Structure formats: structure tokens, C-alpha cells
């Protein structure tokens, strides 16, 4: 007789179990963390619908997706009969997906995954494309900044409503972080630690966080095709943080697009350097945007993040050099390239970038207010530190 693992369901953490006898089971899922735009009636599903949809997909074809994921991690064949427990923990309500943490107990050891679930039209239009990008980048790059993905699929709710989802790696011990106000009304970066409680990061930790974010995005920038991971947003929780005695570590958990923002010029070296400068300036601008507590007022982060962004960018170039992607002297030659540009030219390029943004985007007015001060700081850091 085949053994079937026990399924258990939770909301946000394992302190809050949910099952079909609880009132919450029959309540509708919010569309996102703000719940400002209710789903269309035909898109509304309950917590129970959502959790059972994940269970159905996991069980499909004798737990095929779990088998593949565990074999990928353990690097040896497994026996599905040794699956003891599967815990599904709804993590949050995002703009595109409703992710759940999947805890697998196999032979008395726990393994953690994420199931990203698309319910809305916007989510469904994006999820398969994102799965493909994550799969491509994880296979092309040796760095493990992004989650590996193990399978994409579909299941039906009420026999007619399709729900799309993919299984990926869960980064255990990592948490979202956002700008928040301390008790004195000062903007600081708060780590949303759901296990040990929220805390404010020190300035040194904040510097390292944004330095590493800059490094990650630069590592994935392609010098010849200008492909890059964009868009990304601090407010959406795209980057997550692990903090321990060794410092901080950062992962990027989403890659909605991996495309060029400029037209290819057939390996024109001068244009390639200009394209990289555009990437760097755009990176430095976007790095300073967040929303209070992830959902509130749009804010502009501190000047010292300019130095963190530049340091992380050149670290990313060094990683590309070490991996043989670009010449060993590229980073130093690019510093020289920047220093040969006069202040007015750099500001002109930055304004060109800002004017290319969608005027209706909520952050544009804030960027236009801050851009001249930002560029003054940016140029000063380049002149004095590099």
C-alpha cells in the first residue's frame, strides 16, 4: 500500500494553521498586499481554493514536481514513499503572485521551496515568461543570486478557472526589508524578520545591502546585447536579506524581464561603453527609490547609497572579469571613460534617462525633484573615490 504524505496548511507562518473548518478557509484572497483593487468576480478564489490548488499540483503525476526538485538538490535518486509531510504556508499577496513557502519533510530532513501562484490576469500574463527567464539565468550564470526553478504548471479551480504556478528554491532565513520611520521620525531601513522580530539595520549594514544589490544587477548585465534584469523595485520586495554574525547576504527573487533597453550597435565599443554608463546611471537613480513600509509614500533614500551603488557596480564588473566575461582591465578602463566625460555631459545623459521614464509612473515627479542633487553627489563620489 502506497504511503501518502500528510498535508498541512498555514497563513503567513506555522503559528497560524488553517483548514476547511476555519472561517478563513472560505474567505476570498486579497488581490495584493494593499487589497486596493478587488479581483473580478470570476477571478475571486478563497484561501481554501488557493491552498487546494497548490496541493493538487504537487500531487500531480505521483508528486513528479517534488521528485524532480528534491533530486536536483540532493543529487541522488529519491523514493517518493519517504515523503513524510508537506506544509504549505501562504507567504504574502504580491502584485503579480501569491507565493507560498513549501516545506517538505523527506527522511526526517526539511527542504524548502516556493510556489509562485498567478491568479490575476496580470500575474498569468507574466508568470510563464518569468519562469523562462529564471531558468535561463540560473543555467547561464554560475552565481547563485536567483532562485533555481523546477517546474511550471497549471491546475483548475471549480473545474473552469485556471491557476498558473511554478516551483522554485526558497531562500531560508532571508526576509524583506523596507524604508521605515523610527521612533524619532527618521527614515531607516527595517528588516522584516518574521521569526525574531523586525529591527533597524545599522548604516554599515545598509551600505553593504545596497552595495550587494548593485553588484547582483551588474553581474547579470550583458555587455554586448545590453540585456539586463529590469524592472525591479525595492518596494515590491524583489530583494531579500539574510543577516547574521558574518554580515549580510542578498538574493534577488524575481526577474520579470531580461531585455535590452537600447538598440544593439553591432559591437560598437564606444556605444557599448555609453550603454553601460546609461545602465549605471539608471541603476543609481532607481536604487534610491522605495516606499515607506513597502506600500506607503514614495521616498528618496540617503545620499550615501550613491557610494554603495558605485562600489557594488565596480564589484560586479570585477566578478565579470574574474569569470572571463570581460577583459581583466575593463573596470579600470571604464573608470577612465567616465572621468573623461565632463559634468555637463553626465548630467545631460542622466536627464535623458529620466525623460525616457513613463510620465505617469508614480516615482517620476520625485526623481525629477531630486535628480540634480543626485548627480552632484554621483559626480563627487566618482571624482573623489575613483
H or E, element range at 118: strand 109-118
Measured CA distances, 110 to 67, 168, 172, 190, 249 (Å) = 14, 15, 11, 29, 22
Residue 35, pLDDT score: 58
Q: Is the Cβ–Cβ distance between 237 and 211 less than 8 Å?
A: no
* Chain mean pLDDT for the chain: 93
pLDDT of amino acid 195: 81
Non-local CB neighbours of 281 within 8 Å, separated by 6+ positions: 346, 349, 350, 353, 378
Q: How confident is the model at residue 17 (pLDDT cuts 50, 70, 90)?
A: very high
Task: Quickly tell me which residue has 544593439 as its cell.
Answer: 264
- The single residue listed with the C-alpha cell 521569526 is 195
pLDDT (0 to 100) of residue 186 = 95
Contact yes or no for 237/294 (Cβ under 8 A): yes
pLDDT tens-place string over residues 64-108: 999 999 999 999 999 999 999 999 999 988 888 999 999 999 998
pLDDT at position 316 is 98
**Helix, strand or coil for residue 268?**
coil
Mean pLDDT over residues 264-268, rounded?
Answer: 70
Asked whether the beta carbons of 155 and 53 are under 8 A apart, the reply is: yes
Grid cell at residue 11: 497563513
Give the pLDDT score at 41: 67
For residue 231, cis peptide bond before it (omega within 30 degrees of 0): yes
**Residue 244: predicted pLDDT:** 86
What percentage of the chain carries pLDDT values higher than 70?
95
31-45, 57-71, 81-95, 133-147: segment of lowest average pLDDT = 31-45
Query: What separation in angstroms does the CA of 201 have from each of 45, 192, 193, 312?
Result: 38, 11, 11, 18
Taking the CA atoms of residue 56, residue 47, residue 257 and residue 346 in that order, the dihedral angle to the nearest 10 degrees is -160
At residue 266, does pLDDT exceed 70? no
Sheet holding 17-18, edge to edge: 17-18, 6-11, 83-90, 100-106, 109-118, 161-169, 149-157
Residue 40 scores a pLDDT above 90: no
> Looking at residue 371, what is its pLDDT?
98
H or E element that contains 244: strand 239-244
Three-state DSSP string of 313-324: HHHHHHHHHHCC
Rounded Cα gap, residues 45 and 262, in angstroms: 40
Arithmetic mean of pLDDT, 249-274: 88
Q: Has residue 37 got a pLDDT over 70?
A: no
Residue given cell 505521483 in the structure block? 62
For the cut 70, the answer to whether the pLDDT of residue 130 exceeds it is yes
Helix (H) or strand (E) holding 6: strand 6-11
Q: For position 84, what pLDDT does the model report?
A: 95
Share of the chain above pLDDT 90, in %: 83
Residue 108 DSSP label: T
Express each pLDDT in 186-198 by its tens digit. 999 999 998 888 8
Averaged pLDDT, 45-66: 96
pTM metric for this prediction: 0.93
Most confident of 41-45, 195-199, 293-297, 342-346: 342-346
Region 321-328 average pLDDT: 95
Degrees (nearest 5) of the Cα angle 338, 343, 347? 95
**Residues 250 and 241: beta-carbon distance below 8 Å:** yes
Predicted confidence at residue 33, as pLDDT, reads 64
Amino acid 120: pLDDT: 87
Mean local confidence (pLDDT), 154-178 = 94
Is the pLDDT at 311 greater than 90? The verdict is: yes
Of the candidates 325, 236, 337, the residue with the CA atom closest to the CA atom of residue 278: 337
28: left (phi over 0), alpha (psi -120 to 50) or beta: beta
Domains and CATH numbers, the chain: 6-169 (3.30.200.20), 177-385 (no CATH)
Amino acid at each position: 500500500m502506497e504511503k501518502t504524505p500528510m498535508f498541512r496548511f498555514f497563513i503567513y507562518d506555522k503559528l497560524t494553521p488553517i483548514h476547511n473548518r476555519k472561517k478563513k478557509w472560505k474567505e476570498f484572497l486579497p488581490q495584493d498586499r494593499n487589497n486596493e483593487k478587488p479581483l473580478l468576480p470570476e477571478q475571486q478564489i478563497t484561501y481554501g481554493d488557493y491552498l487546494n490548488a497548490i496541493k493538487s499540483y504537487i500531487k500531480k503525476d505521483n508528486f513528479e514536481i517534488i521528485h524532480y526538485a528534491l533530486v536536483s538538490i540532493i543529487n541522488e535518486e529519491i523514493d517518493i514513499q519517504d515523503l513524510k509531510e508537506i506544509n504549505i504556508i501562504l507567504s504574502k499577496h504580491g502584485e503579480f503572485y501569491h507565493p507560498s513557502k513549501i516545506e517538505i519533510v523527506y527522511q526526517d530532513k526539511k527542504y524548502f521551496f516556493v510556489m509562485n501562484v498567478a491568479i490575476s490576469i496580470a500575474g498569468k500574463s507574466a508568470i510563464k515568461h518569468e519562469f523562462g527567464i529564471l531558468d535561463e539565468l540560473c543555467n547561464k550564470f554560475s552565481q547563485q543570486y536567483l532562485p533555481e526553478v523546477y517546474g511550471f504548471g497549471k491546475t483548475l479551480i471549480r473545474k473552469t478557472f485556471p491557476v498558473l504556478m511554478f516551483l522554485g528554491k526558497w531562500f531560508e532565513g532571508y526576509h524583506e526589508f523596507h524604508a521605515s520611520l523610527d521612533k524619532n521620525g527618521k527614515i531607516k531601513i527595517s528588516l522584516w524578520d518574521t521569526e525574531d522580530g523586525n529591527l533597524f539595520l545599522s548604516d554599515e549594514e545598509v551600505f553593504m545591502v545596497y552595495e550587494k544589490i548593485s553588484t547582483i544587477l551588474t553581474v547579470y548585465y550583458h555587455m554586448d546585447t545590453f540585456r539586463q534584469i529590469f524592472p525591479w523595485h525595492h518596494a515590491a520586495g524583489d530583494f531579500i536579506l539574510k543577516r547574521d554574525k558574518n554580515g549580510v547576504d542578498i538574493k534577488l527573487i524575481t526577474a520579470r524581464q531580461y531585455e535590452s533597453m537600447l538598440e544593439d550597435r553591432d559591437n560598437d565599443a564606444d556605444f557599448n561603453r555609453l550603454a553601460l554608463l546609461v545602465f549605471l546611471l539608471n541603476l543609481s537613480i532607481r536604487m534610491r527609490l522605495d516606499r515607506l513600509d513597502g506600500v506607503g509614500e514614495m521616498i528618496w533614500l540617503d545620499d550615501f547609497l550613491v557610494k554603495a551603488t558605485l562600489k557594488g557596480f565596480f564589484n560586479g564588473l570585477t566578478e565579470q572579469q574574474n569569470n572571463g566575461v570581460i577583459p581583466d582591465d575593463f573596470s579600470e578602463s571604464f573608470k577612465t571613460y567616465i572621468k573623461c566625460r565632463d559634468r555637463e555631459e553626465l548630467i545631460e545623459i542622466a536627464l535623458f534617462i529620466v525623460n525616457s521614464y513613463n510620465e505617469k509612473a508614480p516615482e517620476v515627479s520625485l526623481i525629477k525633484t531630486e535628480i540634480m542633487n543626485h548627480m552632484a553627489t554621483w559626480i563627487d563620489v566618482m571624482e573623489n573615490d575613483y
